[in-house]
Structure 1
Amino acid sequence: MTPGQQRAWDRSWERLGADLADLAPGGRRADLLDDGGRLAPGAWFGRDADLRLEIGSGMGETTAALAAAEPEADHVAVEVYPPGLGQLLMRIEAAELTNLRLLRGDAVVVLRDRVAPDSLAGLRVFYPDPWPKRRHHKRRLVQPETVALMASRLRPGATLHLATDVADYADRMREVTDAEPRLENPHGGFAPRPAWRPRTKFETRAEAEGRPSRDLLLVRRAGNGGS
């Protein structure tokens, strides 16, 4: 971490962040769980509000901007990279955000073990690791079993938002989400780029290099409850 990221971590991590390893019944942050061992957002945010979860917040530029733009909702960012979490803590402090919390750990485990079915008002995955070599494609996050898990954690009517600038990954994302029975694609394909999704310098650079971003906005259908 940079010195600034480390200082933000020292000031704010205990209040605004949690390690997945500590977020278990009997763990150091078991106070954040309900009786079923799932994350209890009200215990962390001190209120009841829609909960939106982001997988892979990176350096937090988009995460902080979206939380600031939607103060009526609560936001949880899941990331494994400590400098990124430290940078996001700096952004939270600078913007005086009260509706954003951070989890460090494997997002699939978070979803499977700590997020209740049918509970999220939104889930977003922006620019996941593309694992560009074909032999590594199996490591990509967006796979049928993972998308099924994501869909099960959304409440009916909630949105799964995926975005990438890697063309073959975008096509695979569409193929996988089209095959998930709990998800509906109201756009019939890739969605127009939402004006409210912040445009980062990385996206601008990718566009200049001929790699336009593609967005998928999927809606959880009613019925087909999660587990």
Structure 2
Amino acid sequence: MLIRIESDDALAHNLNKPLLRYDEKGKFSCPIYSGIYFFRIMVLEGLYQHVPDHLWLHYVTHVVDRILRRMRPAQPEDSNHEFATPFSYLLYSVVAVTTDWIEDALRVTDDGSALSSDQTEGHHAYISFQAAEALGGVMQSALSSDKLTERLKVELLENILFMLRRLTRKHHLAPLVRSVLAYLMNPYGMGLNAKHIDAIERIYAKQDHVLRGDTKVFANVLATAKNTLAVGASFATP
């Protein structure tokens, strides 16, 4: 799939065309869409079978980087569309798939369980914690790119906030929520980046006020990240 994105010029040309009916019909004959959703199924199967391995899910960061490399620059009229091109639809799909891997921890764990990122026995959610790490890398690439419209960036973060709202309703998933938030601010624990934090703050400010009210935990961690940058301290990740 990565090779096709990188080297298939005809495919890239088609994926940079207007969306038309790609999201309704064309995606089913697209090797990239098929690859993303085969990957989704494979990793979800691992999660539901409590496989103590990330099953290469971190490759989603490479998929996003390849897509961004081949996407055409954003055009003013792109903001009139939810997804201007198939490539933008595929990028959203990658984020949605990654959040699926995280959110399905709701379905494979028990309310009374004590979860941790390194737990690999019993009804664990090791894959969900790994997906939380990957999501941070995916969003850093997406939010820093000038090939995405502001509208699409808002939708990407909105998807994540909806997920967080559902996860925070389950007390036993608090460690997973903390992991998602930490890696969104500090992708792969490589250190805070002021431009990335500024981008998150800008996009978060454009979210629906009700959703922001329901996800104050996000705002609190964002404020902590900003304060950490201001004083030059280190930002802890799980």
TM-score, scaled relative to structure 1: 0.39
Question: Which protein has the bigger strand share?
Answer: 1
TM-score, scaled relative to structure 2: 0.38
